[in-house]
Amino acid sequence: MTDRAHAGRAVAVRRGGVPEATVARLPLYHRVLVDLAESGVATVSSDALATTAGVNPAKLRKDLSFLGSYGTRGVGYEVSVLIEQIGAELGISSEWPVVIVGVGHLGHALANYGGFASRGFRLVALFDDAPQLVGTEVAGLTVRPFADLPAVARADGVLIGVVATPAPAAQQVADALVAAGVNSILNFAPVVLSVPPAVDVRRVDLASELQILAFHQQRRGDDLGQVAR
C-alpha cells in the first residue's frame, strides 16, 4: 500500500492518529454518505453502509470509531453527522487551493471534474505551455503558461498540485511545483517522481491498475485450466 511513513513514529494512536488504511477509506465512506443524503436517507446502520460501500461492517465501525463515537446503539448513524465528521477529519472544511499542470485530454477531464468544491478543493489555475492552449478557457479558467506557476502558487498558497503532463515533462514539472512550495503532488504521469522526502506524492497509473486486474484475471483463468484467448 502506501509506504509513505509520515513522520515515522507518529503513527501511534495519538490524538488524530487515524491509521493509514482507514484514511484511505474515508473518502469512500464520505462519497457513499453524500449519495445517501441526496437520496433523502437520514439514518444508516453500519451494516447498510458497509454493504453499500463494499466493506466489512466491523471494519467500517472500527474506522468510524477512530473519529469518535457518533453512532447511536440500536439505531445507527445519522448521515449528516457522519458526513460532517469525516469531512472534518479529511479537511474538507477548509478549502484547499489546487493547480493542474498539463491541459491535454486528461487535464481537461480533471478540470471539468465537478466534485472539487463539494470536497474541499478549489481549482485555482491550469498550466500548459502549448501555444495553442495558453489563453484558452477551460472549466472557467484561463490556461496560463507554466512560468506563471510560482506567482500563482504563492499568491494563493497552493500546497497541492496535479501533474497531468506526458511522462517526459513530469519530473521537471514536479521540480517546479516543489520549488513553488507545493508539497503534495498527485501524479498521473507514468513515471516515478523524484522529490524531497518532505513532499508527498501519490501516483495514479492506468497501466498499473489494468495490470493488477489482468493478474487476477489470469490467476482465475489458471485455476480453471483455461487459457486467455
**159/98 Cα distance (integer angstroms):** 7
Question: What b/e readout covers 50-65, taking b as 16+ CB neighbours within 10 angstroms?
Answer: bebbebeeeebbebbe
Site string for a second copy, 41-80 (x = CB under 8 A): -----------xxxxx--x---------------------
**18/22 Cα distance (integer angstroms):** 7
Residue 74 in grid coordinates: 440500536
**103/144 Cα distance (integer angstroms):** 10
DSSP letter, residue 73: T
Q: Which is nearer to DNA, 57 or 145 (CB)?
A: 57
Q: Which is nearer to DNA, 57 or 190 (CB)?
A: 57
The secondary structure element, H or E, covering residue 101 is strand 96-101
Place of cell 518532505: 198
Q: Which is nearer to DNA, 19 or 115 (CB)?
A: 19
Residues 6+ apart with CB under 8 A from 30: 83, 86, 87, 90, 92, 119
Phi, psi of 37 (to 5 degrees): -60, -40
Chosen from a second copy, DNA, none, partner binding at 22 (C-beta under 5 to 8 Å by type): DNA
Least distance in angstroms from the C-beta of 43 to a second copy: 19
Q: Which is nearer to DNA, 90 or 134 (CB)?
A: 90
Q: Does residue 147 touch a second copy according to CB under 8 A?
A: no
User: Are the C-beta atoms of residues 16 and 7 closer than 8 Å to each other?
Assistant: no
Query: Contacting a second copy (CB under 8 A), which of 142, 157, 172, 179?
Result: 157
Q: Which stretch binds a second copy (CB under 8 A): 36-44, 69-77, 83-91, 140-148?
A: 83-91
Q: Site residues (CB under 7 A) for DNA?
A: 1, 3, 5, 11-12, 19-22, 44-47, 55-59, 61-62, 64-65, 69-77
Q: Which stretch binds a second copy (CB under 8 A): 40-48, 76-84, 144-152, 186-194?
A: 186-194
Q: Does residue 141 touch a second copy according to CB under 8 A?
A: no
